[in-house]
């Protein structure tokens, strides 16, 4: 699933890699470690938005190894950082939920403009490419043009959309979509929703209503609730994730716009602070620009420019 020919992840995090890897390169190339250098590694990592605490903890490992005499060169520090970060990002099941009987329901939520509708298109295409039948629910009846935007993607991908009229109750659209998904024996029902803030009580209640409708129609639904976070918003994405995670039963994060930021380190922080895995990353504006999040590949891509440090 989500295998694109181009190495989208590497392309996507090139800005972050330039900031982290490129930043460290100047500090470390050809150098022996010392306390001052280690402090500079720390400030580079802190600036990447991976979180101050985590940056300190991984750099502390380098410091300990240096003081203990096991890390001497810049390249030793890079090896330790990579291993520590991989450890922290690994684990837990990163694949999307998939039920054996009846449609699997994936609900997509997030704040305005975070990339929900685009991400729905990306997920829909990847699932369709896998041979699964997909139905979309246009649950954003709030913003004029939202349904049309989803329909444009759906048409290109040759996937059907269940829609209601503008300002229809989104829960009723979702109800119809759930019935249609059952009747057509769709493998997956993907629900796009309106952008909302966690403190907009009315809109958050609407989300609860959508969830209840889904649960009534399809056992266990929604099986996956993906929170779409805009990676370019850095710290604000973390705050949103915390608030949404509590209010909306989020099971995974879709981190969008990783191609537009040098703050891709937030992947690390989201994982740490929320206990919710980043399952997918968006790395561009077309339906092909998505990758499953792979901790090892992410960390390797982040430090790619340091690979020749040993020489």
Nearest C-alpha neighbor of 133 from the set 151, 155, 159: 159
| Maximum distance among all Cα pairs of the chain, rounded to whole angstroms | 68
3-state SS, residue 229: strand
Q: Binder to ligand GTP among 42, 76, 140, 187 (CB under 6 A)?
A: 140
CB nearer to ligand GTP: give 110 or 170: 110
The C-alpha atoms of residue 80 and residue 175 are separated, in whole angstroms, by 51
Binding segment for ligand GTP (CB under 6 A), chosen from 71-79, 140-148, 218-226, 263-271, is 140-148
Residue in 104, 114, 117, 240 binding Mg ion, rule: CB under 5 A: 117
> Taking CB under 6 A as the rule, does residue 259 contact ligand GTP?
yes
Rounded-to-integer distance, Cα 206 and Cα 274, Å: 23
**DSSP assignment, residue 9?**
H
Of 151, 285, 294, 300, the one binding ligand GTP by CB under 6 A: 285
271 lines the binding site for Mg ion (CB under 5 A): no
**288 near ligand GTP, judged by CB under 6 A:** no
- Interface with ligand GTP, residue 139, by CB under 6 A: no
What is the token pair recorded at 213?
Answer: 């409708």
The residue (of 133 and 149) whose beta carbon lies closer to Mg ion is 149
Ranked by CB distance to Mg ion, the top (closest) residue is: 117
| Residue pair 2/290 in contact by the 8 Å Cβ criterion | yes
Non-local CB neighbours of 98 within 8 Å, separated by 6+ positions: 104, 223
Provide the binding-site residues for Mg ion, judged by CB under 5 A. 116-117
Binding site for ligand GTP (CB under 6 A): 110, 112-118, 140, 143, 146, 195, 256-257, 259-260, 282-285, 289
């Amino acid at each position: 699933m989500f295998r694109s020919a181009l190495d989208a992840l590497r392309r996507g995090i090139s800005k972050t890699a330039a900031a982290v890897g490129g930043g460290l390169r100047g500090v470390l190339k050809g150098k022996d470690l010392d306390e001052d250098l280690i402090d500079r590694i720390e400030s580079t990592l802190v600036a990447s938005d991976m979180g101050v605490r985590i940056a300190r903890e991984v750099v502390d490992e380098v410091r300990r190894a240096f003081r203990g005499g096991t890390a001497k060169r810049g390249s030793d520090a890079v090896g330790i950082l990579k291993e520590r970060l991989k450890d922290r990002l690994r684990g837990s099941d990163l694949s999307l939920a998939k039920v054996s009987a009846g449609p699997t329901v994936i609900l997509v939520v997030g704040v305005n403009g975070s990339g929900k509708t685009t991400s729905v298109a990306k997920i829909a295409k990847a699932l369709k490419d896998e041979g699964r039948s997909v139905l979309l629910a246009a649950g954003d009846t709030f913003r004029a043009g939202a349904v049309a935007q989803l329909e444009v993607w759906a048409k290109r991908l040759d996937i059907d959309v269940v829609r209601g009229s503008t300002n229809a109750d989104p829960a009723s659209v979702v109800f119809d979509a759930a019935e249609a998904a059952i009747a057509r024996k769709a493998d997956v029902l993907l629900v796009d929703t309106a952008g909302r803030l966690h403190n907009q009580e009315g809109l958050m209640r609407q989300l609860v209503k959508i969830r209840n409708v889904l649960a009534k129609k399809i056992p266990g639904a929604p099986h996956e609730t993906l929170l779409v976070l805009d990676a370019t918003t850095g710290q604000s994405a973390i705050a949103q994730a915390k608030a949404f995670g509590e209010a909306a039963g989020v099971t995974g994060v879709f981190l969008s716009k990783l191609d537009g930021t040098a703050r891709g380190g937030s992947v690390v922080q989201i994982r740490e602070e929320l206990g919710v895995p980043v399952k997918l990353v968006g790395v561009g504006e077309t339906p092909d620009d998505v990758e499953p999040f792979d901790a090892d590949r992410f960390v390797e891509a982040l430090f790619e420019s340091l690979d020749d440090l040993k020489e």
